Structures are given as structure tokens and as C-alpha cells.
Amino acid sequence: MTNIKLIFKSVILSVFLFLASLVLAKTSSASPRLFLDPASISIPKDSDFDIKLTIDVENNSAFGAEAILIFPSSDIDIKTISNGGFFTDFSHAQSIGRLEIHGFFSSPYDSKSGSGTFASLKFTAKKDLGSGVISFVCTGGENDTQILNTNGINILSCGILNQSNLTYVAADTGGTGVTSSPTPTQSEPNSCGGTCGSNYNCKAGFFCYQGYCRNPACQTDVDCVCPTAKPTVRPKTVSSPTPQAVELLVYRPPTSSATPSATATPPPAAEEKRGIKIASYVLWGLGLVVILIVLWIIIRALRNRNNPPTSPSTQDPLV
């Protein structure tokens, strides 16, 4: 009986150590996330407020991200959308109550770790009473909010996304007892290089191109000084191009031997995950072997106990 108790204790201890090693291996990986800052805000009617979309991939290597937001279009208006600088390439598209923001690197071999600002958003409140929510669209599908690593795999968990809670309040009356909305003030339009969400944000002679005020005659020139002579005729007003949604492609290493990075080693994050998987498989295998050996010992012990060997003295004498 004492031996059986010791065997059961050994089994329980082995299983506990095995499960603990799996938990440690699983929790060693990072948890990338996207979140809205601030998470709650009170806004007077006809006033502007800022929402920052922040990204944190910790020690993972991120190639791109896509954030899909929904908001109450009857309560607030989008005023400007600008790149936060975490990704080099940035685009956005919007419809009624929906905003899609895309960020990625133009080179498939570039990536980034750590945290930073994905996008900066400016809204205008149209109500003085009630509440609303700005939230992510994330159900685990391919066209939802996601963060892609250098292998084109989505590393974002929908369960850790937050939302921004809005509370609409009346404008400050200054102690007069009469509620009145202040006259909205128009900010000074931006010159060349200033951020913009539409042509409305740029001074006369400039238009909004990919989020920045540019010269219509040379829209890609950052200083708006065209290399050729300026036309003598005043250029026609150029409408802002409709931002196009950019689909994040799955990264696949090139197969051509002429490409310098064809033999490049996988990113450190991928090597680390592969090592964790191999260690998990080895631990699973060792745990199963230990459990099988212990079960075999228990069965042998129970058989010997139930069927003790017959003493030679009790056998029938030979005739």
C-alpha cells in the first residue's frame, strides 16, 4: 500500500510539472494590441476632440496593421486623419459610420517592434446630450482589425481591444444660467507640408494629397517648389483623391537565388516561436512516456497484490 501511495504522488507531481512547463512556454510569447486613447471623454457640442490610435507589438516583429473603427456618424464627424509614424506607409478610407486605417512597410523585409502611435484622429461633436462609443470591428476574420507579423500571420487577439466612450455635454454658459453653444472657430489652414483630411484644411493654391498639403502642379514635392516653371494660368481646383483601402498582402520570401535576402535567416521572433513549439512537443512526449511507465508499474503492483504467488508447502505432494 505504501508503494502505491508513493507511485500516485509521483504521477501527480509529474503531471503538475508538465502542465506548469506548458503554461510557462505559452505565456512567454508577447501579446500585441491596438487601443484607443483616451478610453472615455466628455465633449461639449460643436467642439473638436482628439483620439489617438496606439499600437504595441512588444517584442514581436510587425510588418503591417489594419484598424477598422465604427462610430456614431449622426453624433460626431471626422475632421482629420493623420499618420502616427509607426509605419512608413499609411492610408485610410471612410464611409458612413465606418473608418478603415492601413499601415505597413513598403519593403517586405522591413518590420518594427515596440509601441507607438498608429494614427491620430480628430472629431467634432454634434450633440449636447447623451453618449456614444467608438469601437473596433474584430471577429477574427481576414478583413477585420489585425496586426500582421513578417510571416503574414495575424498576431492580434480581439479580446484585448478596447473602446472609447463618449459623453456629450452642453457648452459652458459662463454662469449666466442659459445654455448656449459657442460659435465654432475656424483654425488657420495649413501651408505646404501641413497635415490635412481634405482640401478644406489647406491654404489657397494647395490641395490635400495623402494626408499633406501639396502644390497641385507637383503633388509629390515635399517643399511644393516645382522643378519646372510655374504655369501662368491659375490651376483649376483639384479635388482631393478618394483614399483607397490597401489590402495587406501575406508576406512570402522570394524564391529567386538572385535576391540578396533569399537566404536570409527568419526574424528572431519566428525562431523563438519555433523553439517554443519544439520544446512544447518534447515536453508533451516526455510527459506521456512518464505517465505510461507509471501506469504500467501500478498495474503490475495491483496484479501481484491480487494474485500472490502460491507457497510451495501448500502444493499437493507428488504421487
Q: Comparing 59-63, 214-218, 268-272, which segment has the lowest mean pLDDT?
A: 268-272
pLDDT of residue 176: 39
Mean pLDDT of 32-56: 95
pLDDT of residue 136: 95
Sign of CA dihedral 38, 39, 40, 45: positive
3-state SS, the chain, equals CHHHHHHHHHHHHHHHHHHHHHHHHHHCCCCCEEEEECCEEEEECCCEEEEEEEEECCCCCEEEEEEEEECCCCCEEEEEEEECCCCCEEEEEEECCEEEEEEECCCCCCCECCEEEEEEEEEEECCCCEEEEEEECCCCCCCCCEEEECCCCECCCHHHCCEEEEEEECCCCCCCCCCCCCCCCCCCCECCCCECCCHHHECCCCEEECCEEEECCECCCCCCCCCCCCCCCCCCCCCCCCCCCCCCCCCCCCCCCCCCCCCCCCCHHHHHHHHHHHHHHHHHHHHHHHHHHHHHHHHHHHHHHHCCCCCHHHCCCCC
Sign of CA dihedral 55, 61, 65, 69: negative
Encode pLDDT of 110-155 as tens digits. Answer: 999 999 999 999 999 999 999 999 999 998 777 789 999 999 899 9
Encode pLDDT of 243-271 as tens digits. Answer: 666 566 666 766 655 444 444 455 555 66
One domain for residues 44 and 149:
yes
70, 98 contact by CB (below 8 A): yes
Model confidence band, residue 26 (pLDDT cutoffs 50, 70, 90) = very low
Q: Comparing 41-45, 132-136, 229-233, 285-289, which segment has the lowest mean pLDDT?
A: 229-233
Q: Is the model's pLDDT at 182 over the cut of 50?
A: no
One domain for residues 22 and 55:
no
Residue 143 belongs to domain spanning: 31-173
One domain for residues 193 and 161:
no
One domain for residues 169 and 196:
no
Encode pLDDT of 298-309 as tens digits. Answer: 888 888 877 766
Q: Comparing 13-22, 167-176, 196-205, which segment has the lowest mean pLDDT?
A: 13-22
Number of domains present in the structure of the chain? 3
- Determine how many CB atoms are found less than 10 A away from the CB of residue 184: 11
Q: Is the model's pLDDT at 237 over the cut of 50?
A: yes
41 within a domain of the structure (yes/no): yes
One domain for residues 87 and 110:
yes
One domain for residues 39 and 94:
yes
One domain for residues 194 and 168:
no
Q: What percent of the chain has pLDDT over 90?
A: 38
The residue assigned the cell 516561436 is: 273
208, 197 contact by CB (below 8 A): yes
Mean pLDDT of 58-64: 93
One domain for residues 91 and 143:
yes
- How high is the mean pLDDT of the chain? 77
One domain for residues 19 and 136:
no
pLDDT of residue 184: 42
CATH code, 54: 2.60.40.680
pLDDT of residue 25: 41
